[in-house]
Structure 1
Amino acid sequence: MSEPTVGDVADWWGTAVSRIAPNVIELRGRPVQDLIGSTSFAGVIWLMLRGDTPTPGQERLLEAALVSSVDHGPHAPSIAVARMAATCGVGLNNAVATGVNLLGDVHGGAGEQCVALLAEIADGAEPQEVVARWRARSKYLPGFGHRFHTVDPRRDPLLTLVDQAAADGVVDGSYLRAARAVEQLIAPVPINIDGCTAVVYGELGFPPPLARGLFVLSRSVGILAHAWEESGQGRRNKGPMPPTILPTQIGDA
């Protein structure tokens, strides 16, 4: 086997996402200096993931979904563990990474799952059949139901924006119609934020795994804010409960 050449190594790391050269930084072929000050963060996210520029309507929907998922309080596992990590001497970056690493199938993955569910209905499957199949896998229907909210305060603003985008021809409304069909079918169980953002990401053409990736980007802001706040408290938050409260003993001592 011949030794790899410089060209071989360059090809190994070949990418269409960015180009870096002396005095040159391009993102998807766009000079970064042309993006700075003229393109929103949501617009750059779209550019990096999709390779093109969103329309104003697409950008508005994406930004709304990102804003809606930023935080849901310190009881959320990703936030709680980031706060604990922030006082363990691991540094702010590690505290954020600790929180992000908890965004799995149970906490943080429902949006991805809901995009897949709604896609079946948007593609023509009967809502009742789709719901039955998904409920046969789990008692939890991704994107629907909430332990706190009978009506999630983020629902109406997001779905209203999708309604308007559909009326303006920005999206076709198929995921929105699918979500409302499911919500009507399982009433009074409401759609939650994972379901609402799934509607947005589905309407915008993002594949299900990217719905989770976009949620991670959004929730990272809340994780960072909570970790930073906790790091300034001057205390050691070394457990999920205050030190005066001891857990219940279960089983034999």
Structure 2
Amino acid sequence: MENSTDRQLAEDWWRTEIIRMQPGEIRIRGYAIEDLTGRIGFAQMVWLMTRGELPTEAQARLLEAAMVAGVDHGPQAPSIAISRMAMSCGAGINGAMASAVNVLDDVHGGAGEQSVDLYHQIAAEGGTPEEAAAAVLERRAEAGQKYVPGFGHRFHPVDPRAPRLLALVDQAVRDGTVDGRFARIGRAVDAHLRATKSRPVPMNIDGATAVVYAELGFAPPLCRGIFILSRSVGILAHAYEQSLRPDRNKGPIPRQWLWRYDGAGDRELG
């Protein structure tokens, strides 16, 4: 005989505001899944799942633009390289994608979240964006935090993705979709770095998507997750491509090359 108290405890333990499901019925945030299917896009679904309400079409377009911009950055990117090596080692698509996603952490994949955090710190500082950015960045430098998340790139003198995203944000400001506060802050950081650094440290994809996410009101931890959703598309494409190739990619350098050894010289035991 079922114990109603135990059942209530179990139901309370797994409580959620996201989905209701029972035989013949699935509702996401109150909407029937069959009503959503074919009527909203994936970016709208991401917003609904994470924020609880549907975005406007303009908000969804801006979010989708940020997600499109971050899908891939070449096979040398750690997550992409890992997905290709995992496929060569016999993993399936799921294993390759999981292995790749697991390295999207603070150093590779976390800069967007960190950049949103930085923008919020500057917003809380008070004063003009330029004054606030200078104050926060100077404190970071004094504390030994030389790296500014969302700025600088080892390949691109100008990251081609950033100006395009900022232009879309500017259009969204003109349309009344966002207010532009974080775009001003991002540009203030960029200007401060240009004025104080010996070499250019321009805004990169992480700094630009952070502007989009902050303008749209996403909490910083969600921003890393959204980037992972975006980059997972590139991970999937590279893993599948590798699975179709006759050669195997089982290491970070071509097999005819060897790594440099700089340990102890040759020696004899005993």
TM-score by length of 2: 0.90
Paired amino acid for 1:177: R
Give the drift of 1:3: 9.4
Describe how 1:79-98 pairs up with structure 2 within 5 A. Answer: 79-98=80-99
Describe how 1:208-247 pairs up with structure 2 within 5 A. Answer: 208-247=220-259
TM-score by length of 1: 0.96
Structure 1 vs Structure 2 CA RMSD: 1.4
Paired amino acid for 2:181: S
2:246 partner SS: coil
Say yes or no: does 1:139 pair with 2:146: yes
Give the drift of 1:237: 1.5
Using the alignment, how far apart are the partners of 1:240 and 1:191 within structure 2?
A: 28
Structure 1 range deviating more: 7-16 or 67-76:
7-16
Using the alignment, how far apart are the partners of 1:24 and 1:7 within structure 2?
A: 21
Using the alignment, how far apart are the partners of 1:124 and 1:171 within structure 2?
A: 21
- Indicate the residue corresponding to 2:169 in structure 1: 162
Using the alignment, how far apart are the partners of 1:3 and 1:14 within structure 2?
A: 16
Structure 1 range deviating more: 163-172 or 74-83:
163-172
- Indicate the residue corresponding to 2:263 in structure 1: 251
- Indicate the residue corresponding to 1:18 in structure 2: 19
2:160 pairs, out of 150, 153, 156, with 153
Describe how 1:168-207 pairs up with structure 2 within 5 A. Answer: 168-187=175-194, 188-207=200-219
Give the drift of 1:71: 0.2
Paired amino acid for 1:153: P
2:151 partner SS: coil
Give the drift of 1:20: 0.9
Superposed CA deviations along residues 185-230 of structure 1, whole A, max 9, x for unmatched, are 1113200000000000000001111110100000000001001101
Paired amino acid for 2:183: L
Identity of aligned residues (%): 56
1:25 partner SS: strand
1:222 partner SS: helix
| Count of residues in Structure 1 that have an aligned counterpart in Structure 2 | 252
- Indicate the residue corresponding to 1:56 in structure 2: 57
Using the alignment, how far apart are the partners of 2:262 and 2:40 within structure 1?
A: 55
Structure 1 pair 137/113, CA: closer, same or farther in 2 (3 Å)?
farther
- Indicate the residue corresponding to 2:77 in structure 1: 76
1:123 partner SS: helix
Using the alignment, how far apart are the partners of 2:140 and 2:43 within structure 1?
A: 32
Give the drift of 1:124: 3.7
Paired amino acid for 1:130: V
Superposed CA deviations along residues 58-103 of structure 1, whole A, max 9, x for unmatched, are 1011000000000000110000011000111121101000000000
Using the alignment, how far apart are the partners of 2:166 and 2:36 within structure 1?
A: 30
Paired amino acid for 2:135: E
Say yes or no: does 1:99 pair with 2:97: no
Give the drift of 1:46: 0.2
- Indicate the residue corresponding to 2:197 in structure 1: none
2:139 partner SS: helix
Paired amino acid for 2:173: A
